[in-house]
Structure 1
C-alpha cells in the first residue's frame, strides 16, 4: 500500500489523512474526495450491498456520498473514489456542550447497533467521526465500518469510553467546563482520570480494563480465546448498557451568572426590542450564508439572525452552561440553523494533534460572511487593546456588527469597580479610530433606552 502518495497536479491531500489505511482524503479544486483503497474492498462492498449505507443515510445518521470518476492519487491501490457531502462547518468535541457530546455518543451507539444487524461493526468510535449538521449529530466517516467476526469483542470499546463515557461523566459529576480536557488528549481522556463516578459507569470502566488485558495477549491471526469471546447478542447488550448509562447522565446547571445575564443587565424592554429590530434589519440587508455570533450567551440574538436570513449561525460563548441552555433550546425548537459552541475569545481553541494539522484552530475556520460581537468584556474585562480587537475581527468576516458599550453603562461600571480605569482610549471616538484602518463604517444605530450603540462595519479587505 502507498503510505504517502504523491498528489497529481491540482490535488491536495489532507494532512490529517494518514491515520487510516483504508482511505485518503484529498481536495481537487473546490471538491472534496476520498479514496477507498484496495485494503478496504470487502468492507466497502458489504456496507453498500447490505443496505446499511442506505439505511443510515435515510435516517440522517451518516453523511451521504457518491462514487465518481475523479483521477486517483495512486491507481494501483485505489478501489473507488467517492465524493462525500461536505460539512458546512467543522466542530470538535472539546467545543461542544454536554448535551451535544451526549447526543454524539448516543448516535455512535445507534450506528453500532445498526451495523451489527447488517453483519458489520464500528472499528473505531472516535468523537471526531461526529459532526453537527442542521442542528443534529451525524456520523461523518463512511469507512469506519469493519466486517463482524463471530465472537469478537468490540474493538472500539476503549475508544468509546475515552471519547464519550469519561468526559461526560466528568462533566456531569464534577464540572461542565471539564469538556475542554478532551483538547489535551486527542485519543481520548485516560480512564484513570475518571474519578467520582457512579457504580454503573465504573462497571464499564472495569469491563474495559479487563477486556484490554485479555486483548493484549491475542496475536494477529490467533483464534479468540473463550475468555475474550462475545456474542453478537452480547455486543448489542453492551451497547444498550452504555446507552442506558449515557441517558442517566445529566448536565448540572448551577446558574453561573451568564445563563441569566439578560435578566441582570440594564436592557429595558424597549432596549431589547430595539436591538432585536436593528439586528434583524442589518442581517436581512446582508443575507449572510454563515454568521458568527461571538459572545452569544444563550443565543437570543443568534436566533434573531437565523430567523431572518436562514444562515448557519455559529453561536459561540465561553460559558459552558449558557451554551448548554442554548443547545437544549435549539434542539427543542428543531432549529436547523444554530450551532452552539463553547468558545472563549480570549483563549480560542488552537490547532491540535499531529503537526497541529488534524483539528483546525477556531479562527482558521473563518471567514464568515458576517460577525456579531461585543467588546467591553474583551477590552475592559481582559485588557485587550481596541486595535488588537479590530485586527482580529478583520480576519474573521466580511461584515462586523459590534455593540459598543460606553463607560457610563452600568455593566462597564461593574467591570471597573474593582480595578483602576487604565482605558483612556475606551470611548466612542477612540473605538472608531482603532477600527478605521481595518473597517469602513457603514452605519451607527443607537439602542433605545440606554447609551449603547450598534455599529455596522464592512471589512476593507473583503
Structure 2
C-alpha cells in the first residue's frame, strides 16, 4: 500500500488542491503535515530539508523504505505545492512564520489508529520496529528525535514508522532524545501488562504523553524492582530525571560526553532494550468471548445462512474501499469482508480476544485486516491539545460497509443504550451511498434472554423487531433481510439515505 508514484517521477499536487493541516503534527516546528485530497504532504523548513536529503542519501534509510518499514515517501518537484501551503497560519499574531523549503509526499495509511486501541502484542511489535529502525540509524550517524508510539501505524498486522521528520543527524555524546517518550508510550505500558497483568489501554488513553516514571515507580516497589527492565528504565530513569530537572539539555550533553558516552554505547543500549522488549509477553486469561463461536448458539444452518447473506451484502456495488466490522470477535466476518474490500478494521472490546486475533492474522500474513481494541459503548474520544490532536473514533470511521453482527443486543440490553441511539450510531459510521449489515437478536433469543435476566422486568419495552425495523427505515432503505432458521435472529442490509 504505497503511493503510486513512489520510485517514479513525482507528480505535482494540483494547484487547486484543498490543503488542510493535520491537527496532530504541530509539535515539531521544523516540519508540518498537511492533507490535500488523498495526498499526505510534509512541509520541511531549511534545516529539516537538509536532514531529509542526507537521510535519503544514507545507506540505511532506502532499505527500510523498500522493505515497507518506513512509510512510502518521495520529494515533490520544487515549487509544486509550496505556494499553497499555509505558512504559520496557525501561529499567534507577531510570531515568526516558517519558510517551507521542501515538500514530501507520503503513502496514505488506510486507517489511523491510536496506541490505546492496540493489543499487547501489537504494542510490542510497534516498539520492536521503532528500536530496529533506531538500531539501523545509529551506525549511519542518524537518530530519531522522538520515541512516541504515535509515530507508528499499521498496514493490517504490519507496523510502519510514519514520522520521517523525526530523523536527524546524530552528535557524539548525545543521548537518544526519544528515550523518555519511548518509555512512557511503549515500554511502560508493556511492563504493566507483562509484569502486573494490567491493561495498559486506559493509561494511554488518559494521557497523550504516556505514563511518567513517577506513576510507574509506586507500582514496582519491593521485589518488583528486580523484574526485568524495572530498575533501569523506571527507577533509575526517574531518579536521573528528577536530578536533572533544573539542568539544561546542553549541560546534560556535556556531562555525557565527559563521562565517555559514545555512539557505540548508544547502540549497545538500544540492543539491550530490544532484547528486553522481546522478552516481555502477556498472555491474557481466556474469557467467555474467546470461545464465542462454539458457545454462541448458532446452528450449522444459521451460520451458513448468515455467511451467505453477509457475503452477498459485501458484494453489492462492487469492491469496498473500507469495511468496519464492529464486534469482530475472532475475525470470522472480517476475513470474509477482506475478500471484498481493500481494507477492514475489526473492532473488538475484549483485549484477550483481540490479541489472539492479531497474533493469528500476523501468522497468516494478513495485511488487509486491522484489529483494534475498543468498547463501542465508550469509544475512543478526541484527545490531546484541544481534543483534536488525536481524532476520535467517530471522526475517523466512515466506511463503505459497516458490519454490526450480534452486537445490537449487547449495546441496547447489556449496556442500556436506547435502541434509537444504537441505530443512529451504527448508521453514522456508514459513508454516503454505503451499506449497513446489521443483525437483530430477538428478545426471545437465548442470548438476549440471558442479558434480560439480569435486568428489571419491563425495562426495555422498545426492544422489538418492528421498532428496530422502523428505526432502520428512518436512516436508509432496507434492501434485503433474512430470518435465520432458528427464528430468533434477523439480518438486514440497509442502504444509507
Q: What TM-score, normalized to structure 1?
A: 0.92
Q: Tell me: CA distance 1:342–1:20, structure 2 relative to 1, closer, same or farther (3 Å).
A: same
| Cα deviation, residue 348, structure 1 | 0.3
2:41 is paired with a residue of what secondary structure?
strand
Per mean C-alpha deviation after superposition, the further-off stretch among 201-210 and 107-116 is 201-210
What is the rounded CA distance, in whole Å, between the counterparts of 2:189 and 2:258 in structure 1? 29
What is the rounded CA distance, in whole Å, between the counterparts of 1:216 and 1:88 in structure 2? 43
- The reply on whether 1:161 has 2:183 as its aligned counterpart is yes
| Cα deviation, residue 192, structure 1 | 2.6
Contact 1:35 1:81 in 2 (8 A): yes
Contact 1:95 1:180 in 2 (8 A): no
| Cα deviation, residue 13, structure 1 | 2.2
Per mean C-alpha deviation after superposition, the further-off stretch among 229-238 and 286-295 is 229-238
What is the rounded CA distance, in whole Å, between the counterparts of 2:153 and 2:47 in structure 1? 26
Match of 2:305 among 265, 274, 291: 274
Unaligned stretches of 5+ residues in structure 2: 1-14, 88-96
Aligned residue number for residue 229 of structure 2 = 201
- The reply on whether 1:391 has 2:421 as its aligned counterpart is no
Match of 1:92 among 96, 99, 114: 114
What is the rounded CA distance, in whole Å, between the counterparts of 2:24 and 2:362 in structure 1? 31
> Cα deviations across residues 122-169 of structure 1 (Å, max 9, x unaligned)?
111110000001420000011101211112221211111111111111
| Cα deviation, residue 229, structure 1 | 4.5
> Cα deviations across residues 220-279 of structure 1 (Å, max 9, x unaligned)?
388622565422221122112111211121123211211112222211233223222222
CA-atom RMSD in angstroms: 2.2
Aligned residue number for residue 4 of structure 1 = none
Aligned residue number for residue 333 of structure 1 = 364
What is the rounded CA distance, in whole Å, between the counterparts of 2:447 and 2:18 in structure 1? 53
Match of 2:484 among 440, 447, 462: 447
Aligned residue number for residue 367 of structure 1 = 398
Per mean C-alpha deviation after superposition, the further-off stretch among 89-98 and 297-306 is 297-306
What is the rounded CA distance, in whole Å, between the counterparts of 1:68 and 1:205 in structure 2? 43
Per mean C-alpha deviation after superposition, the further-off stretch among 385-394 and 354-363 is 385-394
| Cα deviation, residue 298, structure 1 | 1.9
| Cα deviation, residue 217, structure 1 | 2.6
Q: Tell me: CA distance 1:8–1:207, structure 2 relative to 1, closer, same or farther (3 Å).
A: farther
Q: Tell me: CA distance 1:370–1:22, structure 2 relative to 1, closer, same or farther (3 Å).
A: same
Q: Tell me: CA distance 1:377–1:442, structure 2 relative to 1, closer, same or farther (3 Å).
A: same
Match of 2:25 among 6, 17, 26: 17
Q: What TM-score, normalized to structure 2?
A: 0.86
Contact 2:322 2:399 in 1 (8 A): yes
- The reply on whether 1:131 has 2:153 as its aligned counterpart is yes
1:259 is paired with a residue of what secondary structure?
helix
Contact 1:157 1:208 in 2 (8 A): no
Aligned residue number for residue 324 of structure 1 = 355
What is the rounded CA distance, in whole Å, between the counterparts of 1:423 and 1:446 in structure 2? 22
| Cα deviation, residue 345, structure 1 | 0.9
